Chains A and B, each alone.
Chain A
Amino acid sequence: MSGTPNFRGQRAVVLHRPSETTERLARQLTLLGLTVAVRWRPLDHATEADIVLVDADEGWTGLLPWRERDNKPVPLVALLASEAPGRVAWALDQGADALLAKPVTPSAVYPALVMATRRHDEACAAAAVLGELRERLRLRPLVFGAVEGLRAEQGWTEEEAYRHLRGEAMRHRLTLEQCAAALLAAGQGRRA
């Protein structure tokens, strides 16, 4: 079982014009153990934050420092009073992991933080897996080339050639693709 989500010692940055909304948010975030900075100017990469809450009603492109939501380094909660589709789309484009409706209900803050953090962590993990798979896919022709080379040189079946390649990869603690690249570099299928 995972423990109760706890935000003690974390830093929240609230990108919102100072108002009753930010006061209510700051009260609740402080109770949850976070330190709170409220600002209404673009966030830069140098600002230290563990979670960002952004006003999606008035937020503009450039308020958040990441250009693509896939590169978002921290969980993001969108603060939203509007139903305007453009504002919802803006929040999604920034990579919002959770929505917190305005006026802020105190009981909605903790669930929004938990959800945003979890969704962000899951998205990061999925992005890492996706990146690795993309890279392996990109290098797949090398594996094919190495197997074909081994078949031609050793007279093995495709299965034998693949098994040999996999065994070499494990022995040298390389990925299949790295091992194939090494074999090919050593001379079109001759032993690396």
Chain B
Amino acid sequence: MGRFRWSRTLSVLRLGILFSTAGDTAALGRDCRDGALLALDELRAEQGSALAIEPVIGDPGGVGDRYIALARRMLTEDGCRHIVGTVTSQSRKDVIPVVEKHDATLWYVCPYEGFEANPNVVYTGGCPNQHLVPLFAHMLPAYGRRVFLAGANYVWGWEMNRLAREIVTEAGGSIVGERCLPIAETDVAGLVAAVEARRPDFVLSNMLGPANHAFLRAMRDLGRRDPAFRPKRCPVVSCDLTEAELPEIGAGVADGQLAAAAFFECLDTSQARRLKARAAARFGATRRVSSYFATGYATVRLLGEAALRCGTDDPTRLRAALDGPETEGPLGPLRIDPATNHAALPFWLGRIAGDGFEVIGSGPRRAADPYLTGPRPLVPEAGRPRLRVVS
């Protein structure tokens, strides 16, 4: 790695860290933020004065309207040209025009619904061809093709359900029911009654936070009344449920349910073990490390290493410097496709067991295809699982 030389006018790279640690996505925001902070600590320790990155923390406190003002303040008053932040697609779409106006970079670390590729955004959390498509390539042959879609009433729930319907229909299956609830709605009785009546082979949940937790508790109760709805027969699957939320759901409540992610704490890799040890040292021994934590961490490391290579915080030059040597991290070697600004990501399928996941399947690292311009059908009709069963 070359010597880091700041431009004459710049002494410090100020990095906006914009996550909400309150509200429906509090657990996710906290993990993203803490992963980013851990990476900053490491970069500071490793590089000393060669790389000075100073965090500027903004916390909207669960209030959606605050993202824009906080992002604007970071870019106009705090000297930031980079923001790592936002969890929901709504907040990302709110912040993007501010970032575009100042020609800054937003580093977005969460899985999202695709159909976006902004030159001012670096996407490291994955889009549907990296999570939903491989998830359904496993689920349809393994569990059946009668699917129930549950979602939150906003763009993530709507778009993920729409894509799931397209995947299932293309593969010769059917959507036996679809319900979207308001984001914070915890009265899930109607939804669970619909699932019970339609008797799907599995349920896709794109709900968030407390609403999703209530749904998983209600599905546990349903499985106790009727064994046909136990996770072994009719699992609830999602692309955003991680270790971060398991304590809130309650120990054992969601055991057996499935989730797709680019990282699980239980991965048997040296990088996963290393990250877990670092997180424990920094945040305490009980700290769980989710894919949100790992992606926040890996993204800020990537940013820092690119800054070292180009010696500036100029967003255009720093984004160009991402096209450098791949460094190994918890997500594997992290590479950003310069055409789409999206990371190539591995696929893991996890099953909830106690306070963590066990990995039950995996898929190869794949480049992002945010507009799904690749081959059709997305999942072949006679689809065999493309996943390697590892346990």
Binding site for B on A (CB under 8 A): 1, 3-4, 6-8, 24, 27-28, 30-33, 105-107, 110
Which of B97, B100, B170, B371 is A110 in contact with, Cβ under 8 Å?
B371
13 A-B contact pairs sorted by A residue (CB < 8 Å):
A3-B170, A4-B163, A4-B372, A6-B373, A8-B373, A27-B339, A28-B117, A31-B340, A33-B371, A105-B97, A105-B100, A107-B93, A107-B118
**Residues of chain A lying within 8 A (CB to CB) of residue B283:** none
Determine whether the beta carbon of B117 is less than 8 Å from that of A106.
Answer: yes
Residue of A nearest to B340 (CB): A31
Residue of A nearest to B342 (CB): A31
Whole-angstrom distance between the alpha carbons of A166 and B177 in the complex? 46
Determine whether the beta carbon of A27 is less than 8 Å from that of B119.
Answer: yes
Q: A7 → chain B, closest Cβ, in Å? A: 8
Residue of A nearest to B159 (CB): A4
B235 at the interface (CB under 8 A from A): no
Determine whether the beta carbon of B119 is less than 8 Å from that of A31.
Answer: no
Q: B118 → chain A, closest Cβ, in Å? A: 5
Binding site for A on B (CB under 8 A): 93, 96-97, 100, 115-119, 162-163, 165-166, 169-170, 339-340, 370-373
Whole-angstrom distance between the alpha carbons of A105 and B116 in the complex? 11
Determine which residue in A3, A24, A33, A105 has the highest number of CB atoms from chain B within 10 A of its CB, and name it.
A3
Whole-angstrom distance between the alpha carbons of A33 and B170 in the complex? 20
Known: A30-B339, A107-B118. 8 other contacts (CB 8 A): A3-B166, A4-B163, A6-B371, A31-B117, A31-B371, A32-B373, A105-B97, A110-B115
Closest 7 CB pairs of A and B: A33-B373, A8-B373, A106-B118, A31-B117, A32-B371, A3-B166, A31-B371
Q: A117 → chain B, closest Cβ, in Å? A: 15
Q: B112 → chain A, closest Cβ, in Å? A: 13
**Residues of chain A lying within 8 A (CB to CB) of residue B97:** 105
**Residues of chain A lying within 8 A (CB to CB) of residue B370:** 31
Whole-angstrom distance between the alpha carbons of A147 and B118 in the complex? 66
